Structure 1
């Protein structure tokens, strides 16, 4: 799961003017909007574990087709990069799990 933030000037109904806001996204979906002046927060209720499971399922279920597409496009490049990818895969999984656990802890 990836969490990202961006700043934008939006109209705040509490401040009655355009103020800077921090917009938070999780996996590209809106999660919250916070006014930096009055600290008012609007949150979108999400079941974070359901989104995590959906992301894992989508990644696992599409892996065979992604590998097939990759080796059909360029077999020699695929075979050349395969040993490095096999070795680095556990580290990439751990990195993804650590990032996801940080996002999940923030919502519990």
Structure 2
């Protein structure tokens, strides 16, 4: 599971102006946005277990495809 974060200038409804925010991602999906000025946080529901399974399944399928290609070469 890949979690990342970035900083972005976004409009804050509490501060009523565009300010820097931290945006947090899990597997490329936004899970939380936090205003750096007032610390207001918006949280988005993400099924972490589902994302973890999706990631491991896609990696397994990729490895299976590569394996099948290599078998054909032999």
What is the TM-score when the length of structure 2 is the normalising length? 0.84
In the alignment, structure 2 segments of 5+ residues that lack a partner are: none
Separation (CA, whole Å) in 2 of partners of 1:20 and 1:26: 20
Q: Which residue of 2 aligns with 1:38?
A: 38
> Which SS does the other structure have where 1:46 is aligned?
coil
Structure 1 residue ranges, 4+ long, deviating more than 2 angstroms after superposition: 66-69
Bigger strand fraction: 2
1:68, 1:35 → 2: CA distance? 48
| Larger helix share, 1 or 2 | 1
Distance in 1, Cα, partners of 2:30 & 2:42: 10
Number of residues paired by the alignment? 72
Q: What is residue 10 of structure 2 aligned with on the other side?
A: 10
| 1:34-73 Cα shifts (integer Å, max 9, x gaps) | 001111111110111111111111111221213445x4xx
TM-score, with normalisation over the residues of structure 1? 0.60
Partner of 1:58: 58
Task: Answer with 56-65 or 10-19: which moved more.
Answer: 56-65
